């Protein structure tokens, strides 16, 4: 990443863990202080690959994918919530409210993994944040999310914020992405999580063609990657 000039894309937990590994720290110990939202931001592939019918197994996969950089109770709770919501959405569990219930259960399991760190309970904040904005107009919801739920790098803020955005606009994942991106703070991460979950629930057709074309034009091959993960799931 340094050679490509993109080292600044690493979050603080990942940057710290990479430095620790390079200095000789065993990988299983490098993430003992990683409590920010990087694990939750990048966990969607695990949610695509692993079905939600066995939540402990799914959370095991989340832990395995995250432990080098985010091996803490709060980070794993947030990552488990996002992965479970994506997985449940793909399985046809239901809308935002239904997948949020699965996410809460997964967050409770995730909080039991890794090294304990002080932080608000992610599962409890998921319930609170989604209930806080349900039924509010989008702009009012955005103000509530920013001022009360929080939009920082902290897992216990940004993951509930993503679910709160979806609760505010449950039937339109593209609008949810735009609303999340307008929040301020770590809004790109919040939009990524909300978009992944909303997309899993509603499918690619719910996003406007011009938005999909912009992503495709980056040459990242994301459609083929998603198809390969779905094939592993099947």
Question: The whole model's pTM is what?
Answer: 0.92
The DSSP secondary-structure symbol of 205 reads G
Cα separation, 68 vs 72, whole angstroms: 10
Please write the tens of the pLDDT for every residue from 56-100. Answer: 999 999 999 999 999 999 999 999 999 999 999 999 999 999 999
Has residue 12 been placed in a domain?
A: no
The per-residue pLDDT for 3 is 58
Cα–Cα distance, 32 to 98 (Å, whole number): 32
pLDDT band at 222 (very low <50, low <70, confident <90, very high): confident
Cα–Cα distance measured from residue 6 to residue 105, given in angstroms and rounded to the nearest whole number: 35
8 falls within a domain: no
Q: Which domain holds residue 38?
A: 33-233
pLDDT band, residue 233 (cuts 50/70/90): confident
In a domain, residue 213? The reply is yes
Domain membership of residue 9 (yes or no) is no
Q: In the chain, pLDDT over 70 holds for what percent of residues?
A: 96
Mean pLDDT along residues 2-18: 69
pLDDT at 234: 66
- Burial letters 148-158, b for 16+ CB under 10 A, else e: ebbbebbbbbb
Evaluate whether residue 5 is within a structural domain.
no
Asked whether residue 220 is assigned to any structural domain, the reply reads yes
Mean pLDDT of 204-228: 90
Residue 111 clears pLDDT 90, i.e. is over it: yes
CA atoms of 110 and 156, how far apart (whole Å) = 13
pLDDT at 108 over 90: yes
DSSP, collapsed to helix, strand or coil, labels residue 36 as: strand
Overall domain count for the chain: 1
pLDDT of residue 51: 95
CATH (domain of 161): 1.10.4080.10
pLDDT digits (tens, 9 = 90+) for 119-159: 999 999 999 999 999 889 999 999 999 999 999 999 999 99
Q: Residue 48 domain-assigned?
A: yes
Tokens read off for 107: 């967050």
Residue 68 included in any domain: yes
């Amino acid at each position: 990443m340094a050679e490509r000039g993109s080292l600044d894309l690493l979050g603080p937990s990942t940057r710290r863990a990479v430095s620790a590994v390079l200095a000789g720290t065993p990988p299983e110990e490098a993430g003992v202080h990683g409590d920010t939202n990087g694990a939750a931001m990048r966990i969607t592939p695990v949610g695509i690959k692993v079905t939600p019918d066995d939540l402990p197994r799914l959370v095991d996969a989340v832990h395995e994918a995250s432990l080098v950089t985010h091996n803490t109770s709060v980070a794993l709770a947030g990552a488990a919530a996002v992965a479970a919501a994506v997985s449940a959405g793909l399985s046809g569990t239901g809308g935002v409210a239904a997948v949020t219930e699965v996410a809460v259960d997964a967050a409770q399991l995730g909080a039991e993994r890794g090294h304990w760190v002080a932080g608000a309970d992610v599962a409890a904040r998921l319930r609170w944040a989604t209930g806080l904005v349900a039924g509010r107009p989008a702009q009012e919801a955005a103000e509530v999310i920013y001022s009360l739920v929080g939009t920082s790098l902290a897992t216990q803020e940004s993951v509930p914020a993503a679910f709160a955005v979806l609760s505010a606009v449950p039937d339109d994942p593209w609008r949810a992405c735009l609303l999340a991106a307008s929040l301020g703070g770590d809004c790109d991460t919040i939009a990524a999580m909300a978009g992944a979950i909303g997309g899993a629930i509603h499918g690619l057709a719910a996003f406007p063609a011009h938005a999909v074309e912009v992503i495709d034009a980056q040459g990242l091959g994301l459609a083929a990657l998603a198809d390969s993960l779905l094939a592993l799931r099947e």
